[in-house]
Structure 1
Amino acid sequence: MLLTESFTKTKEAATLLKSLNAYANVVKVSYLHKLHAGKERCNHRHRQRCGPLIVYNKNNVIVKAFRNLLGVELVNTEGAFGLPDKVFRTFDKVSTHKRDYLLLTSKISNPDVTYLINSDEINSVIHPAGQKLQKTNHRHEIVKQECLKNTKKPKQPSVAGKAFTANLFTP
């Protein structure tokens, strides 16, 4: 809400916030201005809540009036939103600052996407929504079957074991 931008003193800014019933937020923020705990004290010493947001149109002395109030944020929106249209361009107007600059456009717009999804050419190739593909797992075919650990595979003694038992029982 833009009321006046000619404030120079913090006292005038405080009376404006009191008339808008927003000064209670400033008082609450000032009570919640505390130190961080632990090692965070070295990096970001204080923690602070956010208070009211003041939006102003022109860069006047209003910044100096509100800078001493804790938690009050100031935003200059008119210049921020008006400048990119002048620097770059819109779809209707040409840029005043840059020449031969093409504004980026999307390759596919939303109506094109819905047309492509519902087209017969794509629906004939893709799978229906509810159908799941059968997964093939070739890992079981590659795994070697160890006869000592696998109970399903019959145990086959080695050739050296046959020779040892043959020599053991011969007279």
Structure 2
Amino acid sequence: MRNRCRIWHRGPCIIYNEDNSIIKAFRNMPGITLLNISKLNILKLVPGGHKGRFCIWTERAFHKLDDLYGTWCKATSLKRNYNLPMHKMLNIDFSRVLKSPEIQRALRAPCKKIHHEVLKKDQLKNLRTMLKLIPYAKTTCRYTILCQAENHELQVDKATASLEAKLDEKGVPVKKTVVRKEGKKAVGIKKQKSHWWEKGCSYQETNN
């Protein structure tokens, strides 16, 4: 039924022994499959590998199964060297076999203690984990932040001084720097054009 614009769903399967106009009776019914008992097809009995298709057996076809496949006590009369599949286990109740005391005695005891996995935190991202490993890390981090702030202030002062020197040479009036309440210096804008040193570029100086 592949590559079809319209798909017909499978209906019941009728299995017969002799064709007594049974094919003509069901030929116009969509979805019905007719099979001969001597020519059974697994693709028609179990389409798509799904069990549970509704099969309708005629009386003669059902009685012919013993002659066609035989039983565990009687051999088949229509086939040669054919035997029904036998069970590999005498007791097919698998759950009962597993719970038997003979097997439970040979198995190890179940482990009822549950181990929960602990989330491992990254020491470089988590400060508490870093302090457990290196207690001096908090002081080092604080010192690094203070050094960066001091270097940034020095860089801003240096850029301001160089800018004032250049503007004094050209004779352009310079605005005075304004000190905020937080203690940080805000450099006044001398021209409308923005310079690269006014865009907040931070540098870190290494103290040898």
Structure 2-normalised TM-score?
0.36
Question: Relative contact order, CA 8 A, sep 6+: which one is greater?
Answer: 1
User: What TM-score does the superposition give when structure 1 sets the normalisation length?
Assistant: 0.41
Q: Rg bigger for which structure?
A: 2
